[in-house]
Structure 1
Amino acid sequence: MNERITHYRNGKIFTAAEGGWAESLVVKDQQLIFSGESEFAEILAPDAEVVDLQGAVVLPGFVDAHTHLIMMGFSLQKLDLLDATSIADIQTSIRTFSESNPDAPRPLGRSWLFSALGGQHPTREMIDAVVPDRPVYLDANDLHSVWVNSAALRELGIDADTPDPIGGRIDRDPSTGEATGMLYETAVMLYVWPKLAELATDQDRDTALALAFRRYLEDGVTGAVDMALGPDELDCLERALDAGNGTLPLRVAAHWLMTRGDNDADNVRQVHDVIELHNRVQGPWLAVAGIKIIIDGVIDSCTAAMKEPYSDGTNAEPIWDLESLIPVVTAADAAGLQIAMHAIGDEASEIGLTALEYAIATNGDIPRRHRMEHLESITRDNVERLARLGVVASMQPVHADPAIQENWRAMLGDYRVNRAYPWPEFTEAGAVLALGSDAPTAPHPPLPNMFIATTRMSAIDPSLPPNLPQYALPLAEALAHATRDAAYSCRWENVTGQLVRGKAADFVVLKQDPFTEGVDSLLTTEIAMTVVAGSVRYANCVQNPQ
């Protein structure tokens, strides 16, 4: 069998490695065998097929360090309410969508903001006024709460007697006890998600996954870390793997989403189930990396666990308290699973780090690479503690977009808003910072995400003032955090994330050069080509061999 060797030359290649830049890449089958100056590439591979990059910028393929693939694919098919600025806007959009989709048994929407409600509380009656006869489910922008109408409550079987699950809440009318139509945290996970999963077919899931893969390749993403793996999601990914003869359109590492049970034994039993999956599903294209634990909620709906109360005087209990977390974290750590902990509030990160310290003291010096997700509000002491423990800080610049910060700031309302999303503090403390999107809670394309990272300005409305610009990142650093460090976050550092000899030929070619044209061009730059394992998986222009 003849070896396939391709020389990509005449490029401005950001390697995300020491030295920083190259002119040529030589690809042999799936792997890079050279990265450097063109004259040496020609000596190494004189007979290679040549692709002239014509001075284009080349980056390592983006690795989305935190996403939800199948949820993203479904979300792309839902009504987008991000631009709605009032209840009337939301109602008009729902009515129009419902009328345009008369055969849809249940209109589904996403990305509405609490700030669009003008201080009012969302209720089922607001949706009933425009769609009374079909169940309507509207995901909040953060995906930690869902707004439903009366028909959806009936479909879910939720009434005044339905108990709140551990770590969640069914919002109720204080005078009647009836559900208002807002479901928070584990009430979403235990009522809404299973119902919609039950109603979806395998074909629906396969279509959603294929759509997510296609959009990612179009936007320069060559690897993804899925943070909500369950039985349906794993089956779907394995079907895609079989259909691709053992490959996927891009690399996937996945974390099994843990559900807090009534006792420690049930929780630890889940860990042992994941250990079996981790040992079985451990390939170059799909791997079950470990577990995902959602310690708390989100600041926008006041469900994140904070050290001090919110501006209205309330606070939230963690979904996983320290006592319930320690046995799970200790068991997973001992088994070599990677633990990813959602911790948005400063109290949640305190709990998670304390549990990790206990596990490390118990299990001793073994290989480990754990992660904390989001870290939107965290104390300086815990930034330092996270770095000492070798925990990866997995964060999402898109969540710091000024266009969605109004309610976030109002819910805290004090000095804490001045240390929001402090990305440079983590690297200054010595931690690895991995950047992702958390799609579909936020837009998935990485280049606008990099614009926010480098400016702290809005990709939605660039006219807004920046959100704490002292925390902005230099462009080269931001790109490295979204490629090299994102690969490190899921133990792919020997596989991908840098354009150097011996690593996979995963890279993306841009149509514009943000290094010379300025970071504003990240909002308009198009992807010319996405290459995964040496194969062109997406191209919107023809690059003819010369």
Structure 2
Amino acid sequence: MSDHVWYSGGRVFTGAASVPWAESLVTRDGRIEFAGSDAEAAVRCKHGEADVLRVDLDGRTVLPGFVDGHAHVLMTGEAGLRAHLTDADDPRRIRQRLREWAEANPDAPRVLGRGWLFSAVPDGRPTRTLLDDMIPDRPVYLDANDYHSVWLNSAALTELGITRHTPDPPGGRIVRDPVTGEPTGHLEETAAQHLAWRFLAETTADADRDRHLREATTAYLSSGVTCAVDMMLDEHGLATVDRAEREGTLDLRMVGHWFVPRGPDPDEQLAQVRHAADLSARHRSDRFRVTGIKLVVDGVIDGCTAAMLKPYADGDNADPIWDFDSLAPVVTAADAAGLQVALHAIGDRAVRIALDALEHARRINGPSLNRHRIEHLEYVDPADVPRLAELGVTASMQPVHADPAIRDNWAAMLGDERAERGFAWPEMTGAGARLVLGTDAPTAPHPPLPNMYIAHTRKSALNPELPALQPHLALPLLAAITHGTADSAWACHAESALGVLRPGLLADFVVLDVDPFEGEPDALLRARVLRTVVGGRTVWQA
């Protein structure tokens, strides 16, 4: 394809304040050269010259490419190759899915699945004995839908060497039988990371990781995402992305946050910050950048591992993975090194700890231009909402986690009026904070248009027949799309290149078969991506 292309006859939402809507886009050398009327574009392109390729949009709608503000790219590719369990709503269906996967992958040394829900497990307690009855002869590793715990059978526990004597890692738990003390097969938080995930990472071949990246890239590009902010970059993922970039096959732009796990050695955590700073200095292309670190302050409400100011419905509560005393030095060091800090904080206690740590860093280092961010913010104490804007903290949130189809267990765990203030996106923007929307894939579906539907309606993309939950917290569609494009680009320091279709910026955009701004909101669920353009080049086409 020519590097000078005129896309004409469309309805183009540019996102730019000066020219928010256009009929034509002209791209040259990977960037937007012009956005405006067809007549002006015809004059500029001197239509008929051999070096200008004209593409007729035929009235289709064009949007800036979505920037998924919170994703796990390689995990999304790998998840697509596992047994899918999110809609397996009881043990019988889980058994069916696992056996189908095992039969389809007879040479796989392990049975791998993802997406199980606590509501699908008897009493919400996953056990090895239940899995042993389903798959007795191969190790089974099943990631929960929220990716904060792993469910194992006995063969997997044996393979990992986990016994009643294995200690819990800091910030995690090997769930044990209260009578015998034997592990039940359920690993929570850092126990899942350090014991199960680390083992699986060490046994995964580079060729498989390359395949995971290809799977994820196709999934994202075909759904309209042109850039993803990866929130759990490690050595394996870094090497995989590096290979793709060197080989010229990295069609999806990526921005990485180096994952710093909670461990027993504070010096090692500070060493990880220095390593991230080195990576940030070395990886600065427009295709792949390392911009900061990621810290997981607490768990999730569904599993009752999120740190709350008041107990859960059963009277229990969870300690944070990072308390203030352990978190503040790492955040302060990262801020001083010029790194962007992304803090996973779902419960209100964890959000407060995260804000306190960022406030401490500002007190030590002075005001920051690093655009620090808190991820998820599913329930925030009203007293802490204004602090986001006061500290310049971006609220990075995921409408897909508010889908009414998966909210019952979430609300039941809280068990009180707190559920009515969950996922309060307008509270964040109303207080003056920058809001960024993403999906957190693979903990939730990655396509951005259904994500926008939930943000705009507070209804379910999984089951649109369900009534809206908290419709007063819905966002205007234009605002939602801006939070998923221009604001997401700003939040990862890419506003001078992405998120808006303005002359001089990179030509990253998508062409849809329907106009989501006209008609009923469910057009967002019907819309298909016809073309995805990254850097002026069509990288996916229906």
Unaligned runs of 5+ in 1: 541-546
State the Cα distance separating 1:268 from its structure 2 match: 1.2
- Determine the structure 2 residue equivalent to 1:171: 175
Counterparts of 1:442-457 in structure 2, within 5 Å, are 442-457=444-459
Q: How does 1:308-327 map to 2 (within 5 A)?
A: 308-327=310-329
1-side partners of 2:146 and 2:390: how far apart? 30
What is the SS of the residue equivalent to 1:508? strand
Cα distance, 1:524 vs structure 2: 1.7
Question: CA separation in 1, counterparts of 2:259 and 2:408?
Answer: 30
Asked whether 1:221 is paired with 2:220, we answer no
Q: Which amino acid aligns with 2:187?
A: L
Q: Hey, what's the Cα distance between the residues in 1 that align with 2:365 and 2:425?
A: 30
Alignment of 1:385-404 (within 5 A): 385-404=387-406
Amino acid at match of 2:57: L
Amino acid at match of 2:459: M
Amino acid at match of 1:80: H
Q: 2:507 — aligned with what?
A: 505
Give runs of aligned pairs for residues 392-541 of structure 1, distance below 5 A: 392-540=394-542
Cα distance, 1:518 vs structure 2? 2.0
Of 211, 216, 219, the match for 1:212? 216
Partners of 1:213 and 1:510 lie apart in 2 by 19
Query: Could you tell me how far apart the structure 2 residues matched to 1:317 and 1:308 are?
Result: 12
Contact 2:70–2:228 (Cα < 8 Å) also in 1: yes
Residues 312-358 of structure 1: per-residue CA shift (max 9 Å, x gap): 11111100100001110111001110000000000111000111011
CA distance in 2, matches of 1:368, 1:487: 14
2:24 equivalent to 1:13: no
Deviation at 1:366, TM superposition (A): 4.2
CA deviation profile, 1:342-380 (whole Å, cap 9, x unmatched): 000001110001110111111113422111100000012
Take 1:280 and 1:301, find their aligned partners in 2: how far apart are those partners?
38
The verdict on how the C-alpha distance between 1:118 and 1:454 changes in structure 2, with shifts beyond 3 A counting, is farther
Q: For structure 1, which segment, 50-59 or 97-106, has the greater mean C-alpha deviation from structure 2 after superposition?
A: 97-106
Question: 1:60 and 2:59 equivalent?
Answer: no
Match of 2:116 among 108, 112, 116: 112
Q: How much does 1:3 deviate?
A: 8.0
1:194 to 189, 198, 202: 198
Contact 2:305 2:318 in 1 (8 A): yes
How far does the alpha carbon of each residue in 1:410-444 deviate from its partner, in whole angstroms, 9 at most, with x for none? 10000100001001111111111111110110110
Tell me the number of residue pairs that the alignment of Structure 1 and Structure 2 aligns: 537
C-alpha distance in 1, partners of 2:54/2:520? 29
* Structure 1 residue 512, shift from structure 2 partner: 1.0
1:265-318 C-alpha deviation (Å, 9 max, x unpaired)? 222121111111111111111111110000000001000000000001111110
Contact 1:91–1:126 (CA under 8 A) maintained in structure 2: no
Q: Is the 8 A contact 2:85 2:114 kept in 1?
A: yes
Runs of 4+ in 1 over 6 A off after TM superposition: none
Q: Residues 239-282 of structure 1: CA distance to partner in whole angstroms, max 9, x if unpaired?
A: 001111xx620211000100122243222121111111111111
Question: Over aligned residues, Cα RMSD in angstroms?
Answer: 1.3
Q: Is the 8 A contact 2:453 2:524 kept in 1?
A: yes
Match of 2:85 among 71, 81, 101: 81
Task: Give the letter aligned to residue 74 of structure 1.
Answer: E
Instruction: Give the 3 Å change call, closer, same or farther, for CA 120–286 of structure 1 in structure 2.
Output: closer
User: What is the distance in 2 between the residues matched to 1:91 and 1:200?
Assistant: 25
Shift in Å, 1:164: 0.5
Deviations 1:459-488 (A, max 9, x none): 111111112111111111111111111111
Amino acid at match of 1:6: V
Cα displacement (A) at 1:120: 4.4
Q: Which amino acid aligns with 2:226?
A: T
SS at match of 1:297: coil
Cα 1:66–1:309 shift into 2, 3 Å: same
Measured in 1, the distance between the counterparts of 2:518 and 2:259 equals 42
Q: Secondary structure at the match of 1:536?
A: strand
SS of residue matched to 1:495 = coil
What CA distance in whole angstroms lies between the structure 1 residues aligned with 2:263 and 2:122?
A: 37
Q: What amino acid maps onto 1:49 in structure 2?
A: L
Give the match for residue 144 of structure 1.
Answer: 148
Amino acid paired to 1:142? D
Question: Take 2:12 and 2:85, find their aligned partners in 1: how far apart are those partners?
Answer: 38
The residue aligned with 1:544 is none
> Structure 1 CA distance, aligned partners of 2:303 and 2:423?
17
Could you list the per-position Cα deviations for residues 180-214 of structure 1 after superposition, in whole angstroms to 9, with x for gaps in the alignment? 01000000110011111111100000000011011
Which residue does the alignment assign to 1:268? 270
Structure-1-length-normalised TM-score = 0.97
Q: Tell me, what secondary structure is at the counterpart of 1:517? A: coil
Greater Cα offset, 96-105 or 171-180:
96-105
Percent identity, please. 53
Aligned-partner Cα distance in 2 for 1:79–1:440: 13
1:116-127 equivalences under 5 Å are: 116-127=120-131
Secondary structure, in 3 states, of the residue corresponding to 1:442?
coil
Q: Partner letter of residue 402 of structure 2?
A: A
Cα deviation, 1:122-153, whole Å, max 9, x if unaligned, reads 11000100211100011110000111100000
Cα distance in 2 between the residues matched to 1:49 and 1:167? 57
